[in-house]
Amino acid sequence: MELKLDLEDPAGFAAVDPSDMLGAVERFGDQVREALSIGRSVADLPPAEGLHAVVVLGMGGSGISGDVVSVLAPPAGLRAPVVTVKGYSLPSWVDSSTLVFAVSYSGNTEETLDCFDQAAEAGARLVAVTSGGRLAELAGESGITTFRIPGGMQPRASLGYLFVPILCCLEGMGIVEGTTAALAGAAGMLDERSSEFGRDSGLDSNPTKRLAKDLAGYVPVIYGSEGPLSVAALRWKAQLNENAKVPAFHNSFPELNHNETVGWQNLEEFGSSCHLVVLRERGEHPRVEKRIDITLDLLSGSIGHTAQVCARGENPVERLLDLMYFGDFTSVYLALALGQDPTPVRRIEELKKRLAG
Ligand code: F6R
């Protein structure tokens, strides 16, 4: 496909990306450092005694913070996992022994506000993570612990502000250990990746620009595997949708071997217009490794193109951030290559407006 913009020429980027989404992505390491200091500055944390479960409420770019936390920090002292709720219904087991984080960048997302009300009604221990809006008002009125994060950005470009305070809070309450130290180290790694993946790094040395070029004109299909890589796959899919404005789909090994692997057998034309990206990491489950090899062989005639991206990093925190960062850059370069401004998400805004009317 002929690209609308030359990815080798950063001087042309501002015309397509006037709000500088690429700059926001390039500065992600700084965002993680700032989010750590916001997260560590809040002292009035809820009590940890008798806590049985952690729930994160949030949608889209805010909701993925719950998925990230659930794979990075299953609280050591808790029997229950971190559960992310993306919708209008709070689980009926939420009560005063549940810690509930309401995460909404704008503070005005109706599903999150609805569940926040239900959680307050159920007597849960509440924490808000927001840049303002109704959620900040409600939290202020009821004296709820609030992590106030900077406004004026797109929620999906604020991932660090959204998930880091949750980990700081869990660590401050003594129910998670060591993740914020790992995050401080990961911020340095993100700076290195930013030089490698950033605008001034040409196609030869920049794998994210090369992949974006390859994805242009195709439907990206992103496969992860159970655990952190499935969250990375979800992030890739959402970033490709919202930044590049293309349809994109994700799934995870081993579950996809029990259904989707068969689904590629028909609709050859659709399959040939898809580009599969498999997210990998060293040390993955040996059976998953074998499954990926066999699956790629089985699908070889059914999908247009295939690429693999392997996580780098010293620990699970770094490997997850590394993979998500690769996808963030790729999605913005794909937007630029397609001549799409990566920032506006007009259909989400239109939908919210119509729902409010
Ligand atoms: C926009 C984005 C969306 C929003 C979602 C919820 O950049 O990522 O997915 O995150 O519509 O809105 P907030 O985050 O304001 O609660």
Q: Residue 333: which CATH number?
A: 3.40.50.10490
Give me the domain span that covers residue 289.
Answer: 10-18+201-337
176 in the same domain as 115: yes
If asked whether residues 171 and 232 sit together in one domain, one would say: no
Final residue before a domain boundary, out of 152, 184, 216: 184
**Same-domain check for residues 95 and 111:** yes
* Sign (positive or negative) of CA dihedral 272, 274, 277, 278: negative
pLDDT in tens, 132-180: 999 999 999 999 999 999 999 999 999 999 999 999 999 999 999 899 9
Q: Name the domain count of the chain.
A: 2
Query: Residue 279's pLDDT is what?
Result: 98
Q: Are residues 14 and 34 in the same domain?
A: no
The structure's pTM equals 0.98
pLDDT band, residue 339 (cuts 50/70/90): very high
Q: Identify whether 258 is a catalytic site residue.
A: yes
Residues 226 and 130 in one domain: no
Is residue 79 domain-resident?
yes
State residue 139's pLDDT score: 97
- Residues with Cβ within 8 Å of 207's Cβ and at least 6 positions away in sequence, in order, are 197, 309, 326
Residue 166 shares a structural domain with residue 208: no
Asked if residue 68 is part of any domain, the answer here is yes
Q: Is the pLDDT of residue 307 over 90?
A: yes
Given 111, 171, 242, 318, the catalytic residue: 242
Ligand 1 atom closest to 112 (CA)? 16
Q: Which residues line ligand 1 (CB under 6 A)?
A: 59-62, 104-106, 109, 112, 154-156, 242, 345, 348
Query: Is 61 within the bounds of a domain?
Result: yes
Residue 63 alpha carbon to ligand 1 centre in Å? 8
In a domain, 354, yes or no: no
- Mean pLDDT for the stretch of residues 93-101: 97
Task: Give the phi and the psi of residue 126 in degrees, each rounded to 5.
Answer: -105, 145
Q: How far is the CA of 295 from the centre of ligand 1 (A)?
A: 34
Q: Find the 10 Cα to ligand 1 centroid distance in Å.
A: 28
Residue 5 neighbours by CB under 8 Å, 6+ apart: 12, 13, 16, 336, 337, 339
Q: Report whether pLDDT(87) > 90.
A: yes
Residue 149 sits in the same domain as residue 46: yes
Query: Does residue 345 form part of some domain?
Result: no
- Write the CA distances from 20 to 26, 218, 243, 246, integer angstroms: 10, 25, 12, 19
pLDDT score at 74:
77
Q: Identify whether residues 174 and 267 lie together within a single domain.
A: no
Supply the pLDDT for residue 24: 98
Q: Which atom of ligand 1 is nearest to the CA of 58?
A: 16
The residue-averaged pLDDT of 54-73 equals 96
Instruction: Please say if the pLDDT value at position 301 is more than 90.
Output: yes
Evaluate if residue 79 carries a pLDDT over 90. Answer: no
Q: Is residue 348 part of a domain?
A: no
**Atom of ligand 1 minimally distant from the CA of 62:** 14
Instruction: Give the three-class secondary structure for 106.
Output: coil
**Best CA proximity match to 55, nearest among 20, 99, 14, 22:** 99
Is the domain of 27 the same as that of 163? yes
* Distance between Cα 213 and ligand 1 center (Å): 27
